[in-house]
Structure 1
Amino acid sequence: MAEVIVLSSSIVRPKKINKSDRTKIHLTPYDLKLLNFAYPQRGLLFPKPDDVTHIIHRLKASLSIALEIYFPFAGRLVKVNNHEDNTVSFYIDCDSSGARFVHAKVESVSANDFLQHYDSVPEFKRCFFPANDLKSFDGVSEPLLALQVTEIKDGFFISFGYNHMVADGSSFWNFFHTWSKICMNGSSSDTHPLVLKDWFLDKVEYPIHMPVSETGRPPRCEIPTKERVFHFTKTNISDLKAEANADITSTDMKISSLQAVLAHLWISIIKHSGLNREEDTHCIVAADMRRRLNPPLEKECFGNVTHQAIATAEVGEILDHGLGWAALQINKQVRTLTNENYKAFAENWVRNVKFPKTSGGISRKADTYLIATSSPWFEVYDNDFGWGKPIAVRAEPGNGIGISLVVFRGLEEGSIDVNATIPLSMWSDVLVNLLTV
């Protein structure tokens, strides 16, 4: 196990604090349903620059400027006890408390340890992330954003964890890209003010009151897992997409590249899951709703504006049909994510507040869920802090329910990487070989 030496841990606050800025952000049902979810954690591997003397100072100084723009990340979660009806409420207080910045070093690890076997995930990886074991509700006492810069022999691994109730992946990568540009250019002259999401859920009263019984910390129960990064080349993806669309000639729907890849993974994993043919299995895909709403939100608007498409089928159906059929089930559910569907879910959730159980201690049900997060549309390889673009991206999915599939754009144009975390009970060499196209 690599020994990570923490050289410093500090709080970085916005460079300037504008008291006239919005100080309170109410949380929508889509934010609050993530209360028990782990901080999403991602990291980029960079080559080592020629001069490392002032890198940490530059990173912290530019982060301070970036937080001035993306001020919600510098706030804290506030819990309000509503004694009159025995409920609780939450909101984000943009009080400029700051983000955590960790500077660490590992002398025994090189970039090649990440890249030597492209599809393997080193066991030491977890030590390179700053928000292990944090859940969204921990934001009442913990920073809403944590970053870690770890020096290795020939590079830097810059990782982060953020409170999912504050932002989704689209908003976070916009922040990360802004931070890298400020660091490279030395100023924020070409950046734009933050656009917060409007209160488009007009039938929901804020703050939302939730039963105390639904907001307690779930019991901790980890499921042993194994990780692997599956790499789909542009040719692999083209072949899968062509096969899937050839299977569904009876419909005018078109299967996308991502839907074809996820369907392939769904079939491959379920085939060796040991589940009964009559059991239901689910493939859950997160989708950005900004442009699907009416009126649409600005593409760059900050916040958590995602919804989940849930494709469900019996194991037997998955095994008996082809790739196109499985991909079509995903496609159909993505198409249901409309303005009306989004608002109806929010209104129903407020009337009957329920949180997904993420403890892992829910028997074999967890094995029936494939949960795809992140997106190949995120420009993860376009982040340059001034010494070159990243050479790899990795995820620390954390422990939740189901099989985690974190999807990234691949380093080569048109390729896709999937950071898969699979319960050890389902892992086998047969499964791994089958997953490889």
Structure 2
Amino acid sequence: MNPPTVKFISESFIKPKYSSEESKKPVYLAPWDLMMLSVHYIQKGLLFPKPPGFNDDENSFEDLLQKLKDSLSVTLVHFFPLAGRLATLQQDEPPLYTIYIDCANSPGARFIQASLNLSVSDILSPTDVPPVVQSFFDHDRAINHDGHTESLLTIQVTELIDGIFIGCSINHVVADGSSFWHFFNAWSEVFKAKGENNLTISRPPIHKHWFPEGHDPILNLPFTHHDQFTSRHDSPLMRERVFHFSAASLAKIKAKANSECNTTKISTLQALSAHIWRCVTRARGFLPDQNTSCRLAINNRTRLNPPLPADYFGNCIQTVKATTTAGNLLKNGLGWAAWQLHQTVINHTDKMVLEWVDSWQQTHFIYQLGQFFDTSSIMMGSSPRFDMYGNEFGLGKALAIRSGYANKFDGKVSLYPGIEGGVSMDLEICLQPHFMTALESDQEFTDTV
């Protein structure tokens, strides 16, 4: 018997409740936005339990959907780029090829109603994340350049037997992880205001994009057709698991890393990343002279001088990496590996950021998923600092965070806060099946999970 599949019931498009003068103007994109044109959308969502008595009232789900739509419309007043579409301005003389967000000519954000004849336990109980979770999100396998014709934001609400999944897909040209959860938090805030006709939110987004001093905000790309800078990438067959690290376990990992280096400067995240890097490298069985890297997604907002506001809406991220051989990584221990990551992070200064931007102005590099990441590395993405479990939509606290197909490959690790709060974390790890089996048998790894 075939497993149940997601049934799509309806779709609609949601526009901002009111339009502002700012929302009628083009939004020009910064280098960090444009380099995302060929990678996938961000797909993250929350699984909620149905409140007691929810199924007894046949109007409960319809009422919830309407409240979600109404509050989304109000939220989009502030986050109006999410209701737009990408557009390309191209001309031959003088040569011009620029991509921007057109907020005025769009049907709005997409809203999908769906259902699945499975329970919450069917989603959370299996060892591996079930493949059906990928169907909780729109824009499956879409790349960001598709935002010329596809919505830049889709909310998909999937009703389960005893739960509701709210999946959010946002075009990665428009937002990074910080901006993604900024929007999600604001939407929850508006929802909890119970439909009050109040357009104020506690953290209004800042839409003025950052450009280095002396640079034109209308970036002329050296292309004549999008085939010159876009590509599609399908991940190999992988297993995906979510591993929980308690606050006590993380404290031990951090203490061990700092003790081995006789320092107190190594952070919890740096120590944990080093731990995962070493365990995955051992599980992959590399020869001692095989090069391996640990990449970290890093927020540039606080690294620029002067820093950008925390509520800057757009992309303001890069990746930094530490590289060594498998032999050195495993021989020198946790503290040594964590210190390499610590040095990589602290050396990512305003000077380094500006040098990268200057370099990008010469190369106009666009990330290609199939080329940018390699099977000898790991990539640590997302952040446990994002407020994920604080989002409520009349359903109480979420039970779990899950993601879609997007931007996954062998060695991708996404960091989420643990449901109990504190400094606990959940790690979503993607590995090829034989590597995952080896990781599950790794004593150093299992002792910490």
TM-score category, normalised to shorter length: over 0.9
Q: Which residue of 334, 353, 363 corresponds with 1:342?
A: 353
Structure 1 counterpart of 2:25? 23
Letter in 1 for 2:155: L
Structure 1 counterpart of 2:309? 298
Letter in 2 for 1:359: G
Deviations 1:276-304 (A, max 9, x none): 32222111111222222211222122111
In the TM superposition, 1:22-421 aligns within 5 A as: 23-49=25-51, 50=54, 51-84=60-93, 88-95=97-104, 97=106, 98-107=108-117, 109-117=118-126, 119-185=127-193, 186-187=195-196, 188-192=198-202, 193-212=204-223, 215-249=228-262, 252=263, 254-359=265-370, 366-399=374-407, 402-413=410-421, 414-421=423-430
Deviations 1:139-169 (A, max 9, x none): 1111111111000011100011111111111
SS in structure 2 at match of 1:230: strand
Distance in 1 separating the partners of 2:211 and 2:88: 23
Asked if structure 2 preserves the Cα contact closer than 8 Å seen for 1:359 and 1:401, the reply is no
Asked if structure 1 preserves the Cα contact closer than 8 Å seen for 2:85 and 2:149, the reply is yes
Distance in 1 separating the partners of 2:98 and 2:124: 45
Distance in 1 separating the partners of 2:321 and 2:287: 20
User: Closer, same or farther in 2 for the Cα pair 1:20/1:400, shift >3 Å?
Assistant: closer
Letter in 2 for 1:231: H
**C-alpha displacement at 1:401, in angstroms?**
5.2
Distance in 1 separating the partners of 2:240 and 2:214: 42
Deviates more, 1:306-315 or 1:351-360: 351-360
Stretches of structure 1 lacking an aligned partner (at least 5 in a row): none
User: Closer, same or farther in 2 for the Cα pair 1:420/1:20, shift >3 Å?
Assistant: closer
Letter in 2 for 1:314: T
User: Closer, same or farther in 2 for the Cα pair 1:183/1:96, shift >3 Å?
Assistant: farther
SS in structure 2 at match of 1:366: coil
**C-alpha displacement at 1:261, in angstroms?**
1.3
Letter in 2 for 1:137: H
TM (normalized to structure 2)?
0.90
Letter in 2 for 1:334: V
User: Closer, same or farther in 2 for the Cα pair 1:235/1:20, shift >3 Å?
Assistant: closer
Distance in 2 separating the partners of 1:154 and 1:219: 36
Distance in 2 separating the partners of 1:83 and 1:148: 40
**C-alpha displacement at 1:323, in angstroms?**
0.7
CA RMSD after TM alignment: 2.1
User: Closer, same or farther in 2 for the Cα pair 1:27/1:198, shift >3 Å?
Assistant: closer
TM (normalized to structure 1)?
0.92
**C-alpha displacement at 1:234, in angstroms?**
0.8
Distance in 2 separating the partners of 1:422 and 1:266: 12
Distance in 1 separating the partners of 2:216 and 2:364: 14
**C-alpha displacement at 1:82, in angstroms?**
4.1
Asked if structure 2 preserves the Cα contact closer than 8 Å seen for 1:43 and 1:157, the reply is yes
Distance in 2 separating the partners of 1:230 and 1:220: 26
Letter in 1 for 2:109: A
SS in structure 1 at match of 2:374: helix
Asked if structure 1 preserves the Cα contact closer than 8 Å seen for 2:83 and 2:109, the reply is yes
